[in-house]
C-alpha cells in the first residue's frame, strides 16, 4: 500500500518532505508558501526531486535523531553502509534573534565498507512549470529558471559537480555534504561548517523540547507531535500553518484538493492553545503579535484565514501542468475559502486571548491594544452569530444555522466577558454575558432534536456532526450533562466506522465524504473519556497510534478500509489533537518548580 511515508525537516521558515528512501520530493524556497523547487510529490514524472539512488540490494530505513527535527536515512547492504542526515539550520544567535536560512543541509556519513550511490539532483522551478538551467562555477552549481534567470538556487557540495549533474555512480570512501541554498553563501562552505550547523541545530531542538511538559507514557510520540507543530510556526510573523503542502487529496482520484499553507484562525488558535498548555509561551506571544498586526485599523474585520505574512487575498489558481498526487487532479495554490463566513472562527481565538490575559499579562500598552482587539471581535460576533454560515467544514455552496458555529460564538462572548471581568470592565462583562446566555438558550432550544435525542448539525436538519463532540471541551456544556452524553453516543453510533470517524455523512459540495478526518477520531476519544467510557477511549487511541507513519507523523485524513494516510501533510490539526488525547492517558513527569528545564 502506498502511503505518505515522508519525514519532515524545517526551521520555521520553510520545510521539506523527505521520502523514506531519502528523496526530497517537496521543497518550497525561500518560504513555506513560495513556489516549489522539488515537486515530485504532486507529479512523479515532471516534478523533480533530490535523491540518492542505490541498487536493490540496499535496505533503507529512516528515523528522527532523538527529540530533534533532524531526519536520518540509513542505507545498508553487504558492500557498505552510509547515513544521510537531513536538516534545516535553526538556532538562537541572541536573545531575540534566530538563524534560519532558506536552505537544506544533507550530511552524508560513511559507516562501513565502500557503498555505491548515484545522486539525482533534478530541481524544477516554479512548481515544475519551468525547466532549470545548471551553471557550474568553482564553488557551487547555480540552478536558474529558463523563464526567469533571477529565480535561482545554489548547491554546494564536497562531491564533484559534474558527477552530481551527470548522475554518475560513485564509491563512497569518505563523508560528504550537500548544502542547497536559496541565497549565495558569503562564507566558505565545507564539511566542518555543515557539521557545526548540525550540532547547533541539534542542540536547539533538544533544548526546545526539554522546556515542554514531559510525560511518562507516550512521551516520545507526544514530543514528535510537539516538534511538528513548532515547525509550522512561521518565525517572521508568528502565523501558524495548517499544513506544509498543497493539493494532497482527501480521497484518491477525487477533487477535494486544497492548499493548506496558510494561517486559519481556527487551526492556529487550537495549535497555540496546545502549545500554551505544553509551556511554550514564546510561540503564543508571536501569534498574538500576528493577530495584532493583521488589523490595520479599528474598522478592519477578521477573515477566517490569512497568508503567513498577514495577506488578506489568497486567490485560488489551478496548476494545469501538474497531474496531482497519484493523478488526483487538480493541483491548487491559493484558497478561495478566505472570503467565507464561518462564525466559529473567533471563538477559538478569543479562548486563546483569554488564556493569554490569564497567564501572561503584558505591559499596559499591550493589554490596552489587545482589549481594543477583543472589543472589535465582540462587535463582529454580535453582528453575525444569528446569521447562517458555512461552518467549520467550509461548505462552498451551503449556508445553514450550524449548531457548532453558534456554540463557538457563545465561546467568543463567554471568554470576552471573562476578560472584561479580569480588567474590571463590569459593564462590558455584563452586556456580553447576557448575549452569551441568549446564544446558549437558543442552541438548547433549536439545536437539540427531541425526537433524535441529540444535538444536530444545524437547526435546519437532523444530521450528525463530529464537531459537536467539542461542546464540552469549550465548557459550553458539562460532560455529565445528559444531553451531551446522548449526543456523544449518537454521533459514535452514526459516524464511527471501521475504528475511524466521519466528520459528517451528509452530502456536501463534492458528494459524501469518502475518508476519515483524523482529528474527528481524536475528538471522539476525548469525548468518550470525559463521559466515563475510558477503556473504550483508550482502545480507540491505541488503534490510532498505529495510523501514524513510520516516523510518527499524521496527515489530514485516513482511508476507512486501508488506513492509508491522505490529505495535506503533516496536519497541525491531527498533531495537536494527538497531544491533547495522549495526555489524557499519561502521567506528567514532575519537576521541581525551582528548576527551569
Which one-letter DSSP state was computed for residue 405? H
Can you give the pTM of this predicted structure?
A: 0.95
Of 64, 35, 32, 60, give the one whose Cα is nearest residue 48. 35
Quick check: 501 and 556 in contact, CB under 8 A?
Answer: no
* Four-residue CA torsion sign, 122, 127, 128, 131: negative
Quick check: 282 and 230 in contact, CB under 8 A?
Answer: no
Count the helices and strands in the chain (H runs, E runs): 14, 28
At 552 the pLDDT is 98
At 592 the pLDDT is 62
Which segments of 102-255 are extended strands (E)? 103-113, 116-121, 132-136, 141-145, 152-157, 170-171, 176-181
| Residues 6 or more apart whose Cβ sits within 8 Å of residue 427 | none
Compute the mean pLDDT over every residue in the chain, rounded to the nearest whole number.
95
Q: For the beta carbon of residue 503, count every other beta carbon within 10 angstroms.
A: 20
| Residues 6 or more apart whose Cβ sits within 8 Å of residue 156 | 139, 140, 177, 178, 179, 180, 181, 185, 189
Quick check: 108 and 177 in contact, CB under 8 A?
Answer: yes
| Within this chain, domains 6-208 and 211-585 share the same CATH topology | no
* H or E stretch at 38: strand 36-38
Main-chain dihedrals φ then ψ at residue 375, nearest 5 degrees: -65, -40
At 510 the pLDDT is 67
At 63 the pLDDT is 98
* Residues facing 98 on adjacent strands: 92
For the chain, give the number of residues: 597
Q: Where are the domains of the chain?
A: 6-208, 211-585
Secondary structure (3-state) at 240: strand
Which one-letter DSSP state was computed for residue 37? E
CA distance 377 to 395: 23
> Tens of pLDDT along 374-398?
999 999 999 999 999 999 988 877 8
Low-confidence ranges of the chain (pLDDT < 70): 1, 509-510, 592-597
Of 325, 197, 307, 244, give the one whose Cα is nearest residue 15. 244
CA distance 475 to 470: 9
- From the number of C-beta atoms within 10 Å of its C-beta (0-12, 13-18, 19+), residue 356 rates as buried
Domain 6-208 belongs to what architecture? Answer: Distorted Sandwich (2.70)
Question: Half-sphere exposure of 445 toward its Cβ, with a 13 Å CA cutoff?
Answer: 6
Instruction: Locate 127 and state its grid cell.
Output: 512548481
Q: State whether CATH 1.50.10.10 applies to domain 211-585.
A: yes
CA distance 85 to 217: 28
CA distance 72 to 61: 8
* Four-residue CA torsion sign, 261, 264, 266, 269: positive
* H or E stretch at 92: strand 91-92
Amino acid at each position: 500500500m502506498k502511503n505518505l511515508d515522508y519525514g519532515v525537516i524545517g526551521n520555521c521558515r520553510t520545510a521539506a518532505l523527505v521520502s523514506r528512501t531519502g528523496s526530497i520530493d517537496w521543497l518550497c524556497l525561500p518560504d513555506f508558501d513560495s513556489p516549489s523547487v522539488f515537486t515530485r510529490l504532486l507529479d512523479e514524472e515532471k516534478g523533480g526531486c533530490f535523491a540518492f539512488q542505490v541498487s536493490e540490494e540496499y535496505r533503507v530505513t529512516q528515523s528522527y535523531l532523538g527529540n530533534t527535527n533532524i531526519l536520518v536515512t540509513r542505507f545498508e547492504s553487504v558492500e557498505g553502509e552510509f547515513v544521510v542526515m537531513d536538516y534545516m539550520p535553526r538556532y538562537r544567535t541572541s536573545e531575540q534573534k534566530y538563524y534560519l536560512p532558506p536552505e537544506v543541509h544533507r550530511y552524508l556519513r560513511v559507516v562501513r565498507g565502500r557503498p555505491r550511490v548515484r545522486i539525482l539532483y533534478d530541481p524544477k522551478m516554479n512548481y515544475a512549470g519551468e525547466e532549470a538551467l545548471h551553471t557550474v562555477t568553482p564553488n557551487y552549481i547555480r540552478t536558474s529558471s529558463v523563464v526567469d534567470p533571477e529565480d535561482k538556487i545554489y548547491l554546494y557540495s564536497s562531491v564533484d559537480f559534474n558527477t552530481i549533474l551527470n548522475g554518475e555512480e560513485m564509491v563512497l570512501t569518505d563523508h560528504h555534504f550537500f548544502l542547497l541554498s536559496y541565497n549565495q553563501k558569503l562564507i566558505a562552505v565545507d564539511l566542518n561548517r555543515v557539521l557545526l550547523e548540525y550540532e547547533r541545530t541539534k542542540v536547539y531542538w533538544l533544548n526546545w523540547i526539554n522546556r515542554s511538559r514531559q510525560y511518562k507514557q507516550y512521551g516520545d510520540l507526544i514530543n514528535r507531535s510537539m516538534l511538528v507543530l513548532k515547525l509550522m510556526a512561521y518565525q517572521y510573523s508568528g502565523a501558524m500553518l495548517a499544513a506544509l503542502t498543497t493539493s494532497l487529496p482527501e480521497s484518491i482520484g477525487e477533487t477535494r484538493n486544497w492548499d493548506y499553507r496558510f494561517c486559519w484562525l481556527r487551526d492556529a488558535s487550537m495549535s497555540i492553545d496546545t502549545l500554551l498548555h505544553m509551556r511554550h509561551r514564546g510561540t503564543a506571544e508571536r501569534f498574538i503579535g500576528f493577530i495584532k498586526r493583521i488589523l490595520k485599523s479599528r474598522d478592519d474585520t477578521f477573515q477566517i484565514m490569512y497568508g503567513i505574512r498577514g495577506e488578506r487575498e489568497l486567490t485560488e489558481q489551478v496548476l494545469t501542468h501538474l497531474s496531482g498526487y497519484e493523478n488526483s487532479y487538480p493541483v491548487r495554490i491559493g484558497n478561495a475559502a478566505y472570503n467565507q463566513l464561518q462564525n466559529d472562527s473567533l471563538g477559538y481565538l478569543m479562548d486563546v486571548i483569554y488564556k493569554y490575559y490569564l497567564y501572561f499579562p503584558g505591559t499596559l500598552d499591550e493589554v490596552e491594544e489587545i482589549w481594543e482587539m477583543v472589543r472589535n471581535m465582540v462587535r463582529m460576533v454580535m453582528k453575525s452569530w444569528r446569521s447562517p454560515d458555512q461552518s467549520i467544514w467550509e461548505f462552498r455552496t451551503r449556508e445553514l444555522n450550524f449548531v457548532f458555529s453558534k456554540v463557538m460564538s457563545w465561546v467568543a462572548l463567554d471568554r470576552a466577558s471573562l476578560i472584561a471581568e479580569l480588567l474590571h470592565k463590569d459593564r462590558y462583562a455584563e452586556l456580553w454575558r447576557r448575549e452569551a446566555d441568549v446564544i446558549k438558550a437558543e442552541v438548547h432550544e433549536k439545536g437539540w432534536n427531541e425526537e433524535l435525542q441529540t444535538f444536530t448539525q444545524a437547526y435546519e436538519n437532523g444530521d450528525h456532526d463530529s464537531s459537536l463532540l467539542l461542546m464540552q471541551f469549550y465548557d459550553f456544556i458539562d460532560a455529565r450533562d445528559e444531553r451531551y452524553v446522548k449526543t456523544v453516543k449518537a454521533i459514535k453510533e452514526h459516524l464511527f466506522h471501521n475504528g475511524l470517524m466521519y466528520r459528517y455523512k451528509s452530502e456536501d459540495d463534492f458528494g459524501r465524504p469518502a475518508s476519515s478526518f483524523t482529528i474527528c477520531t481524536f475528538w471522539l476519544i476525548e469525548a468518550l473519556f470525559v463521559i466515563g467510557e475510558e477503556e473504550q477511549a483508550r482502545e480507540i487511541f491505541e488503534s490510532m497510534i498505529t495510523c501514524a507513519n513510520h516516523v510518527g507523523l499524521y496527515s489530514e485524513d485516513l482511508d476507512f478500509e486501508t488506513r492509508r494516510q491522505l490529505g495535506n501533510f503533516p496536519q497541525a490539526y491531527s498533531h495537536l489533537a494527538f497531544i491533547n488525547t495522549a495526555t489524557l492517558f499519561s502521567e506528567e513527569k514532575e519537576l521541581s518548580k525551582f528548576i527551569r528545564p
